[in-house]
Structure 1
Amino acid sequence: MPRQARTALAVSLACALAACSFGPNGDAPAMPQPAHYGAEALPTQTVPAQGVTQQFVAGAKPVPEWWKLYRSDVLNALVDEGLRNSPTLAATDHSLAAAREQLRAQVGSSLLPTIDAGGQATRNRALAIPEAGPNTFLYNVFVGQLQAHYTFDLFGAARLANAALAARVNVQVYQLDAARRALAANIVTATITSAALHAQIDTTERLVTLANDQARDTARRYELGAVSHADLLSAQQNAASVSASLPALKQQWLTTRHALAVLIGRTPDAAPDDIALAQLHVPEQVPVVVPSELLRSRPDIQAADAGLKAAAADVGVATAQMFPSLSLSASMGQGGFSWPVALSGAGAIWSIGASLSQPLFHGGALLAQRRAALETYDATVSQYKQTVLAAFQNVADTLAALEHDAQSLDAANVAARSAQGVFDDTSARYRLGALPVASTRSSEQQWRNAQLDEIRYTSARLTDTAALFQAMGNPPVDQTDAASAAASASVGTTNGDPANGDPANGAPVN
């Protein structure tokens, strides 16, 4: 072999083996690892509120089915029903299944030979040859053959394209996981909100009754000349203001119940009954994943990472398209002008050939496509960084909210207990005839208003706890088998063996 030919062959083989270097490696960029999530250091626990102190367990793993920590069988049943019956989840799951099948199809078509069978029977009329006379020729043609075609993936264009599609399948896998977790969190939040609104409505209805009774008593006292007209108008205004707040509460309550019904896959008229707010117990221990582990536990960050790998593979594809392409084709079969001849040994036909193409001039399109792929990759890197920063912010906000919720709830609880004590004392003195009924109503109004604040802060604490569990993500899984699946997909695995973590069967590919 001539020296120049050997050199060219060596260069081609080296380029083929280094196809992965045609673009970025797709590794996630290094991100800052903050000492603590928020602007202030994380406390070890919240202040006690309603007798419960929440512990922040630093370095703990996320809890997969965290809603069970609320210790409500009814809530657990609602979440399970929603995860089973949600049309949104079902649509996302079917879309993911379709993406896996598309990956399977692309791997099979790009890295394995194609073989097709064909048959043809025609009746032909040809013009006569002038030297042979004026007659035309009529004849039949019978052909049956197998055709095979294979394109060598010398520079990894097909493997890189398959890796890009596999990474995009992974994006959908993580998005489905995120959708499941978001659905569970929405069901928990809607259940808590509905229970809190129900309690607020009951308390507000009592306030409306008290305000109306006070307005009627003031009207009778005005008729007797015991109070001024301004006192009467003030009592009537107070009663109307309290009454005006009730319809908005009921509307918000019904809207929440309708939303909860749809979340669990029911029609709004079949909304579940409310849970009593006292039946929901705030979890006493909440995990706080360290920032480095958060990158592996949050499905939104994992989806951004998979998108990064897809964009890197796209750069490799755009680069590989600038190199030569080698294809082989072959066919064999039988043919003839009659069936007996076509089926005999004399009718055997075959062909074999090879083609090599090298792009020379495409008007700058190939270079522009590669530059576009690089710009897209850079944009994906920035999107990944923003996703991580947003996740850190999400955790920081929910941690701060829990601490402040506990402080507000503790203060509201003290105020409600104090107001109830005043009401009890006033009621006792009223029964002894030492105070008028108006004093009893006034003290009860103060107590009920304090109750409303306590209900709101109780709801906020429960829902913010759910938000923190949601922000922690899922426990990280071992990605060894998933990485092996990526390698299998890139070299043309098409049988979809679940034991090997084939992305066609649902294992994420990294």
Structure 2
Amino acid sequence: MMIHNTSRLLRPFRPVGLACAALLSGCAVGPNYHPPKAPQVSSYTEQRLPARTVSAPGVGGASQTLVLGKKIGGEWWSLFHSPSLDLLIKTALANNPSLLAAQNALLAAQDTVRAQEGSFFPSLSGSFNATRERSPFGVSGSGGAGAAGAASSGASPFSLLNASVSVSYAPDIFGGVRRQVENLRAQAQNQRFALEATYLALTANIVTAAVTDASLKAQIEATDQIIAAEERELRILRRQVALGGIPAANALTQEAQLAQTRATLPPLQSQLAQERNQLAAYEGVMPDQFHLPDLDLADIVLPRHLPVSLPSDLVRQRPDIREAAATLHEETALVGVATANMLPQITLSAGVGHEALSAAALFTPQTLLWNLAAGVTQPLFEGGTLLYKRRAAIATMREAAANYQNTVVLAFQNVSDTLLALQYDASTLAADTTAEASAKASLAVIERQYRLGGVPYTAVLTAEQTYQTAVIARIKASAQRYADTAALFQALGGGWWNRQDIAHDVRTCCGVLP
């Protein structure tokens, strides 16, 4: 309906399109972003760590070997060989609201980039207007604008029809639009790695929470066993008091010890309830809807061979470092935007159409209208606004660079802390296991000596307290090895680049694949 023989009518504007393409190939003002180089370090710790940790008998006591450069699996938690743990993580990945929010934030950022990329092209719009008018002056003639169509009398109303196509374009001579798109692409990268950071934190937190849950269950079971043993001892003492064999003070002292032991249960039960509520939140359900599968420390296999990424690879693997790099990229591009805003802005526009007093005459050659326009705007004085905006952009870019360096330093500290913790965890568990065995044996000896009258009852109480403390310490030390093993996978980036749901082009663009 709009225009017949469009190619003939738009022929005068072809040079404009060619000029647009040529201008797009120009250089963009402002600094170009270059990814920061990886730190030139060869180790995470000041002193060389042993390749293998010490071992201890019992749950979680296996020796662990650090393997430098070993591949980190995308589903690293599967190394714990716990179906219950796998189910928890699978459910959380499907239902966790924070993960869903991060996914949609990424989609929004990607579509914002595509929307801004439309600024590279001319804007083309078509319009059709039909108006009914009355003028105090006559309109006559049979031609074009303002006089097209049939004649009308002086005060008679008439119809005016207009059909047109307009094109406008702002050549990106100094690269302001390109820098804006570059900024938005960096924001999308930021959201990409924010999603990975959310994914990694969620999976690591679930492993830690599940291990803590199993540890608290074991501590409660051990405390129940100690309470049962102390109750049996109290019954024996009461019978001995009734027979006059021992003073009543011994039974009263045992009652006090039993009460103290029972008092340790409620805090453990409270922690267990809170831990399960936390797991319910990770799973994306209400606490009353959450049902934790049976999970004991003995059911979780401690990974024996732990991957340790090369220090030069860490900056490409850690999502938080990649986020900080993307933020630096964003701010670098904004310096170019602020610079381009200080330079001349050129706009080109063109329009072609027909205007007539009747539909029959609308597309005749006599009713053709067209226009070409070009404009240049150069900011001359804005009170220093543009200058200081550019200076602020440069300062913000430098701030982002400093934050990036700080993120890298903290990441290396995190890995170092975790590697050291794994070594000390193993030694602690070995010592606590030995202490528990010694305390148990000592308690048995002192109880026999007490029955034979060789030691006072206070010695029995001291031995019971020592054994109770040793049992709880051993359980905590065992759980800490599992938790710090999960922390190592998190500190190294979690192997997201090896997951099957990560597209090959994403891994390539992120600088992970060769």
Q: TM-score, normalised by structure 2?
A: 0.82
Q: Tell me, in whole angstroms, the C-alpha distance in 2 between the residues paired with 1:312 and 1:349.
A: 45
Question: Cα deviations across residues 167-190 of structure 1 (Å, max 9, x unaligned)?
Answer: 010000011011111111111111
Which moved further from structure 2: 284-293 or 46-55?
Answer: 46-55
Secondary structure of 1:152 counterpart: coil
Gaps of 5+ in 1: 1-12, 483-497
Opposite residue 124 of structure 1, the aligned amino acid is E
Match among 19, 24, 27 for residue 19 of structure 1 = 27
Question: Cα deviations across residues 126-184 of structure 1 (Å, max 9, x unaligned)?
Answer: 4559xxxx975633221111111111111111111101100010000011011111111
For residue 55 of structure 2, what is the aligned residue in structure 1? 48
Q: Is the 8 A contact 1:297 1:475 kept in 2?
A: yes
Match among 351, 359, 376 for residue 339 of structure 1 = 359
Secondary structure of 2:292 counterpart: coil
Q: Is the 8 A contact 2:51 2:65 kept in 1?
A: yes
Q: Tell me, in whole angstroms, the C-alpha distance in 2 between the residues paired with 1:349 and 1:165.
A: 40
For residue 133 of structure 2, what is the aligned residue in structure 1? 124
Q: Tell me, in whole angstroms, the C-alpha distance in 2 between the residues paired with 1:70 and 1:444.
A: 34
Secondary structure of 2:66 counterpart: strand
Q: Tell me, in whole angstroms, the C-alpha distance in 2 between the residues paired with 1:346 and 1:16.
A: 37
For residue 147 of structure 2, what is the aligned residue in structure 1? none
Q: Is the 8 A contact 1:60 1:289 kept in 2?
A: yes
Secondary structure of 2:437 counterpart: helix
Q: Tell me, in whole angstroms, the C-alpha distance in 2 between the residues paired with 1:239 and 1:203.
A: 14
Looking at secondary structure, tell me which structure has more helix per residue.
Answer: 1
Q: CA deviation at 1:64?
A: 2.1
Secondary structure of 2:233 counterpart: helix
Q: Tell me, in whole angstroms, the C-alpha distance in 2 between the residues paired with 1:359 and 1:90.
A: 45
Q: CA deviation at 1:449?
A: 4.2
Which moved further from structure 2: 292-301 or 75-84?
Answer: 75-84
Q: CA deviation at 1:238?
A: 1.3
For residue 493 of structure 2, what is the aligned residue in structure 1? 473
Q: Kindly indicate whether residue 290 of structure 2 is the aligned counterpart of residue 282 of structure 1.
A: no
Q: Kindly indicate whether residue 404 of structure 2 is the aligned counterpart of residue 394 of structure 1.
A: no
For residue 57 of structure 1, what is the aligned residue in structure 2? 67
Q: Tell me, in whole angstroms, the C-alpha distance in 2 between the residues paired with 1:28 and 1:345.
A: 59
Match among 106, 115, 132 for residue 124 of structure 2 = 115
Opposite residue 43 of structure 1, the aligned amino acid is P
For residue 5 of structure 2, what is the aligned residue in structure 1? none
Q: Tell me, in whole angstroms, the C-alpha distance in 1 between the residues paired with 2:474 and 2:40.
A: 37
Question: Cα deviations across residues 417-461 of structure 1 (Å, max 9, x unaligned)?
Answer: 34455577789x79x99999x999997775554332211100000
Secondary structure of 1:275 counterpart: coil
Match among 345, 360, 377 for residue 325 of structure 1 = 345
For residue 3 of structure 1, what is the aligned residue in structure 2? none
Q: Kindly indicate whether residue 392 of structure 2 is the aligned counterpart of residue 372 of structure 1.
A: yes
Q: Is the 8 A contact 1:59 1:288 kept in 2?
A: yes
Q: CA deviation at 1:100?
A: 0.9
Q: Tell me, in whole angstroms, the C-alpha distance in 2 between the residues paired with 1:352 and 1:403.
A: 76
Question: CA 1:145/1:102 → structure 2, altered by over 3 Å: closer, same or farther?
Answer: same
Q: TM-score, normalised by structure 1?
A: 0.82
Match among 176, 193, 199 for residue 212 of structure 2 = 193
Opposite residue 96 of structure 2, the aligned amino acid is S
Q: CA deviation at 1:26?
A: 2.4
Q: Kindly indicate whether residue 74 of structure 2 is the aligned counterpart of residue 72 of structure 1.
A: no
Q: Tell me, in whole angstroms, the C-alpha distance in 1 between the residues paired with 2:179 and 2:171.
A: 14
Q: Is the 8 A contact 1:145 1:334 kept in 2?
A: yes
* Residue pairs, 1:235-314, within 5 angstroms: 235-269=254-288, 270-314=290-334
Opposite residue 134 of structure 2, the aligned amino acid is R
For residue 149 of structure 1, what is the aligned residue in structure 2? 168
Question: Cα deviations across residues 40-88 of structure 1 (Å, max 9, x unaligned)?
Answer: 3322221123352111112334332211111112212221221122222
Opposite residue 339 of structure 1, the aligned amino acid is A
For residue 335 of structure 2, what is the aligned residue in structure 1? 315
Question: Cα deviations across residues 248-270 of structure 1 (Å, max 9, x unaligned)?
Answer: 11111111112112212333222
* Residue pairs, 1:178-217, within 5 angstroms: 178-217=197-236
Opposite residue 310 of structure 2, the aligned amino acid is V
Q: Is the 8 A contact 1:142 1:338 kept in 2?
A: yes
Q: Tell me, in whole angstroms, the C-alpha distance in 2 between the residues paired with 1:449 and 1:334.
A: 94
Secondary structure of 1:278 counterpart: helix
Q: Tell me, in whole angstroms, the C-alpha distance in 2 between the residues paired with 1:506 and 1:147.
A: 42
Q: Tell me, in whole angstroms, the C-alpha distance in 1 between the residues paired with 2:56 and 2:197.
A: 32
Q: Tell me, in whole angstroms, the C-alpha distance in 1 between the residues paired with 2:243 and 2:252.
A: 16
Q: CA deviation at 1:32?
A: 4.1
Question: CA 1:298/1:370 → structure 2, altered by over 3 Å: closer, same or farther?
Answer: same
Q: CA deviation at 1:220?
A: 4.7
Opposite residue 200 of structure 2, the aligned amino acid is R
Match among 96, 100, 103 for residue 106 of structure 2 = 96
Q: CA deviation at 1:94?
A: 1.2
Q: Is the 8 A contact 1:19 1:320 kept in 2?
A: no
Q: Is the 8 A contact 1:327 1:356 kept in 2?
A: yes
Q: CA deviation at 1:229?
A: 5.3
Q: Tell me, in whole angstroms, the C-alpha distance in 1 between the residues paired with 2:508 and 2:154.
A: 68
Question: CA 1:16/1:318 → structure 2, altered by over 3 Å: closer, same or farther?
Answer: farther
Secondary structure of 2:264 counterpart: helix
Which moved further from structure 2: 176-185 or 44-53?
Answer: 44-53
Which moved further from structure 2: 418-427 or 118-127?
Answer: 418-427
Q: Is the 8 A contact 2:343 2:379 kept in 1?
A: yes
Match among 161, 175, 178 for residue 159 of structure 1 = 178
Question: CA 1:473/1:408 → structure 2, altered by over 3 Å: closer, same or farther?
Answer: same
Q: Is the 8 A contact 1:335 1:349 kept in 2?
A: yes
Q: Tell me, in whole angstroms, the C-alpha distance in 2 between the residues paired with 1:172 and 1:92.
A: 7
Q: Is the 8 A contact 2:254 2:461 kept in 1?
A: no
Q: Is the 8 A contact 2:135 2:154 kept in 1?
A: no
Q: Tell me, in whole angstroms, the C-alpha distance in 2 between the residues paired with 1:345 and 1:17.
A: 38
Q: Is the 8 A contact 2:38 2:315 kept in 1?
A: no
Q: CA deviation at 1:359?
A: 1.9
Opposite residue 103 of structure 1, the aligned amino acid is V
Question: Cα deviations across residues 3-56 of structure 1 (Å, max 9, x unaligned)?
Answer: xxxxxxxxxx99987734x33332244564344323433222211233521111
> Number of aligned pairs?
468
For residue 405 of structure 1, what is the aligned residue in structure 2? 425
Which moved further from structure 2: 293-302 or 467-476?
Answer: 467-476
Gaps of 5+ in 2: 1-20, 139-152
